[in-house]
Structure 1
Amino acid sequence: MPHFIIDCSKQIIELKSPEDIMRKVYDAADLTRLFLPEEIKVRINPFQYYNTGNTHNNFIHVFANIMEGRNTEQKANLSKQIISVLKAMFPEVPIIAINIRDFEKATYCNKEMV
């Protein structure tokens, strides 16, 4: 925990390597000090087929899934930090966004908890 899943148009990973993109998101999340570095997970899903408002514009959307307990200000700062890094990395990409979802501690489970 947390999980950062990056959905993007396939052309994004032709502009920069997936490793570089994931590293930038990881570093931005780490710099907020909201998470233990060893718990930050980042994945990327490039899409060949997509529709962005009846266009074929490149896009990046980050889905951040974090354990509940952070306040709105902390989550807003996390969003801004990640978008700032991606915007600097991809100034020509018209659609760059993030949303943050909280996991409930009461319903979260992993294999070590069973």
Structure 2
Amino acid sequence: MPHFIIDCSKQIIVLKSPKDIMQNVYDTADLTILFLPEEIKVGINPFQFYNTGNTQNNFIHVFANIMEGRNTEQKSNLSKQIISVLKAMFPEVPIISINIRAFEKATYCNKEMV
């Protein structure tokens, strides 16, 4: 944990490699010192078909799923840091956003826990 899922228009991975995009998100999350480096996971979903306000404007949206326990200031800083990095990478992209979802430790399960 955490998981960072990057949804984006397909053109995004033409502008920069998926590996570079994911590495930048990984590095930024790691620099916040909120997570153990070996637990950070990043994936990317490029969309060929999408609608952004009845346009085909490029977009990037990051869904950050993290374990509960971080305060609002920490989550806000994480959001701003990731958006700052993506904005610097893609100054021409009009839509870059993130949301953070904190989930309950009591309801989380992985294969090591069963």
Aligned AA (1:49): F
Q: Which runs of 5+ in 2 are unaligned?
A: none
User: Is residue 65 of structure 2 the alignment partner of residue 65 of structure 1?
Assistant: yes
TM-score by length of 2: 1.00
What is aligned with 2:85?
A: 85
How far apart, CA to CA, are the structure 2 residues paired with 1:66 and 1:10? 26
Q: What TM-score does the superposition give when structure 1 sets the normalisation length? A: 1.00
Which digits, 9 at most, give the CA deviation of each residue in 1:28-67, with x for residues without a partner? Answer: 0000000000000000000000000111000000000000
Q: Write the distance in 1 (CA, Å) between the matches of 2:54 and 2:71.
A: 36
Which residue does the alignment assign to 1:103? Answer: 103
Deviations 1:70-114 (A, max 9, x none): 000000000000000000000000000000001110100000000
Equivalent in the alignment of 1:49: 49
Aligned Cα RMSD in Å? 0.3
3-state SS of 2:99 partner? strand
Q: Percent identity?
A: 89
Q: Is there any run of 5+ residues in structure 1 with no aligned partner, and where?
A: none
Give SS of 1:60's match: strand
Deviating 4+ runs (over 4 angstroms): none
- Partner residue, 1:36: 36
Name the residue aligned to 1:16.
Answer: 16
